[in-house]
Structure 1
Amino acid sequence: MSTELSTNLELMQDKYPMKFGSFEEERLHRKQRLAASFRLFSLFGFDEGVAGHITARDPEYPDHFWVNPFGMHFSQVRVSDLLLVNDEGKVVEGNSNMLNRAAFAIHSSVHKARPDAVAAAHAHSFYGKTFSSLGRLLDPLTQDACIFYNDHGLYNDYSGVVYETEEGERIAECLGSKKAVILQNHGLLTVGHSVESAAWWYITMERSCHAQLLAEGASTSPIPVAHEAALATMQHVGSETAGWCCFQPLWDKIVRLQPDFLD
């Protein structure tokens, strides 16, 4: 781990966690980052029909979360399109006919089990779902993959589309206190203490899946990072501050490219 990166992350401690003057201010911040995350997921090709959802816990009502409407392409999601859902699956703000039942089944359980998690992200991205079919954890083959070293789980009980909260509870149990879980034969799910970190964990985990698939295609025995180095690297680049920080350039990019998501 470079001294420069460590120093830069220390400087970010003054900016994260962010401070807000009111629930309204924090709510708008989370909704804007949530809408931005959908646009970024679309930009990176993480869309697959109507599959996939990212949620953000409401700061004033922690048993409520904001989520994308069912059937709306990630590239079209705006702040004003987001739905607010309570812990009973009732849409309390937005179009009540547009709730993704699978999103509620998974995310309601994750948010309930992880009060520390502000956001959760799940999609059927190409390399994530491909890697998930192997039924194994990521290896620490690169610095970026070390983000997940000893910090992700494997849910290996795929039984079809998730519509029941009971399965969501089993996924949450497998996630535990970690930042991510590989859903075998399904895809990836990440959580974070901010919308920014949850989205970034997903983006870099998808890329790490891609990297491992390529490495194993080129060699029968790619060389992993040693345990102590992998653990030290995870503690640096896998921190919540690092996750939040890595999202900032993507925020700047999507604001410049697609400012309409702020509507």
Structure 2
Amino acid sequence: MTTMTDRAAEPAPEFLADTATGLPIPSEPVFGTPEETRRHRKQRLAAALRLFGKYGFGEGISGHISVRDPEHPDRFWVNPFGVSFRHVRVADLICVDARGRVVHGTHRVNPSAFVIHSQIHELHPGATAAAHGHTAHSRALGALGRLLEPIDQESAAFYGRQTLYEAYEGPSVSLEQGRDIAENLGDNRAILLRHHGLITVGGSLDEAVHWFFTYDSCAQVQLLALAAGTPKTFTHEQAVAAGEGFGDAQLGWFSFQLLWDEIVREEPDLLDE
């Protein structure tokens, strides 16, 4: 009988790449200077915001995506207050310091963006980026007080990596509330805010935004399945196995590259500096 140990010792088939998932995924680019890294992150941020607009994640002034500045860890870049996701360009982005002052850019910062994102970046050094939106599916799932169940491969990416935040004291405009959210996030990649919306984080902006898109689509699938009947979930072993593949951080990063290619081709003005 061939055991799993025996199979693990066997050479990998030629069609599998040397990555955690076996997929031919390239590595993230590495830049020689903070200026080059900053420009790259700002371009990805502007693209992510346009994608939020394209997919209907906008809700008035609500919603924000942030990415840590590569040279000043206590600062982050974020979308400006009162500018539509559909219109944001690299030139519109603002950089905010730990006190909430806009140190680069001409627009104001959304107070909720500051209190939430500043605390996430402060308490979680590995969270290079955070994405937050008030999408219909995340709000509906939060109203039910239910997290994603492992009913398919995509939702398994969040198996054991999500948490529900049930406290609500009105719009998030106090540092205390932002810190409470950041503390409750813990080591998870997603926190579902009951009566509010969704936040996802990642080691890159690309990864954080991919998790946001995936979580929202999984919430939609779960709501549809619940409306139709009683969905069958994975076993623990199945959920772990699926999560190792679909929850791989490198896969999350690479998946965003396809969205990047789409939106830059469709809306190249987003790169205007």
Query: Is the pair's TM-score, using the shorter chain for normalization, greater than 0.5?
Result: yes
What is the match of residue 177 of structure 1?
187
What is the SS of the residue equivalent to 2:130? strand
Greater percentage in helix: 1
What is the SS of the residue equivalent to 2:200? strand
Instruction: Give how far 1:11 is off.
Output: 5.3
Q: Does 2:245 correspond to 1:227? A: no
Q: Does 2:206 correspond to 1:209? A: no
Letter in structure 2 aligned against 1:92: V
**Alpha-carbon separation, structure 2, partners of 1:166 and 1:253:** 39
Aligned length: 258
**What is the root-mean-square deviation of aligned Cα atoms in Å?**
1.6
What is the match of residue 80 of structure 1?
91
What is the SS of the residue equivalent to 1:120? strand
1:195-252 deviations in Å (ceiling 9; x for gaps): 1000110011000010000000000x21011111111211221121011011111010
TM-score (norm 1): 0.94
**Runs (4+) of structure 1 moved beyond 3 Å?**
3-13
Change (3 A) 1:6 1:160: farther
Instruction: Give how far 1:73 is off.
Output: 0.4
What is the SS of the residue equivalent to 1:215? helix
What is the match of residue 236 of structure 1?
245
Letter in structure 2 aligned against 1:231: V
**Alpha-carbon separation, structure 1, partners of 2:151 and 2:246:** 14
Instruction: Give how far 1:177 is off.
Output: 0.8
Q: What are structure 1's unaligned runs of at least 5 residues?
A: none
Contact 1:12 1:241 in 2 (8 A): no
What is the SS of the residue equivalent to 2:86? helix
Question: Which of 19, 26, 49 pairs up with 2:30?
Answer: 19
What is the match of residue 57 of structure 1?
68
What is the SS of the residue equivalent to 1:153? strand
1:124-166 deviations in Å (ceiling 9; x for gaps): 1111111111112110111111111010111000111000111
Superposed counterparts of 1:1-20, under 5 Å:
9-10=21-22, 12=24, 15-20=26-31
Superposed counterparts of 1:30-45, under 5 Å:
30-45=41-56
Change (3 A) 1:6 1:141: farther
Change (3 A) 1:138 1:5: farther
**Alpha-carbon separation, structure 2, partners of 1:12 and 1:67:** 32
Letter in structure 2 aligned against 1:87: A
Change (3 A) 1:196 1:223: same
Instruction: Give how far 1:17 is off.
Output: 3.5
Contact 2:17 2:24 in 1 (8 A): no
Instruction: Give how far 1:12 is off.
Output: 5.0
The higher radius of gyration belongs to: 2
Question: Which of 51, 66, 79 pairs up with 1:68?
Answer: 79
Instruction: Give how far 1:41 is off.
Output: 0.6
TM-score (norm 2): 0.91
What is the SS of the residue equivalent to 1:251? helix
**Alpha-carbon separation, structure 2, partners of 1:5 and 1:216:** 36
What is the match of residue 3 of structure 2?
none
What is the match of residue 134 of structure 2?
124
Q: What are structure 2's unaligned runs of at least 5 residues?
A: 1-12
Contact 1:151 1:179 in 2 (8 A): yes
